[in-house]
A = this chain, B = another copy of it.
Amino acid sequence: MKIDRARLEYLKKDAVQGFTRYLGLVPVSLKPGDFVTRIKLQKRHFQQDGFAHAGLIATMADHTAGYASYSLVPESRRILTIEYKINYFQPAEGEYLECHGHVTKPGKNILFTEAEVYSIKGKDRKLVARAMHTMASVPATRVSRSSSTPAESND
C-alpha cells in the first residue's frame, strides 16, 4: 500500500480531537507505522501523589499506537483497540511526556503495536511505561454509533 505524505499529514491532525485534544496531546512526527506524540504536563494531569496519572500515560500509549496503525491501513478502514497490557516502570513527573508508538506486526484485520512513554525534564529522559496492544482494523462503514463490537466487526 502506498502511503502518501498528504495522508500522513491528515492523520497527524486527525489524532488530536475529542479526548486527546482535551488532554493536550501534540503530534510530533508520523511515519508509516511509527508515531511520536507529546503532552506538556500540567496539574490537571496528576494523580493524588503529584505524578502523571497512569491513565493519562495509558491513553497516550494507546492513542499513539492506534494512529501508528492508522498509517498502515487503507482510508476506508478505522482502528479500534481490542486489548492491551501496560507496565509502569516508575512514577512519571517532569515537563513533558513523550510517546513512541509503532506497529510490530501489521495485518489486514489485526495489528500488533507497542509503545514506550518517556518523562522529560530538561535533558533528563526516563522510560516510564511500555505497552503492547492488539488493534482491530475495521471497515469504516461498520463503525457508527449504532455499530457492533470491534470483535464482531472483524467478521
Measured between C-beta atoms, what is the minimum distance from A22 to chain B in Å? 4
Measured between C-beta atoms, what is the minimum distance from A69 to chain B in Å? 12
Measured between C-beta atoms, what is the minimum distance from A63 to chain B in Å? 6
Give the residue among A14, A93, A150 with the most B Cβ atoms within 10 A: A150
Copy number in the complex reads 4
Are A46 and B58 in touch, CB under 8 angstroms?
A: no
Size bracket of the A interface = 35 or more
Chain B residues with CB under 8 A of A151: 89-90, 105, 107, 109-112
In the bound complex, CA of A63 to CA of B58 (Å): 12
In the bound complex, CA of A54 to CA of B60 (Å): 10
Chain B residues with CB under 8 A of A88: 80-83, 150
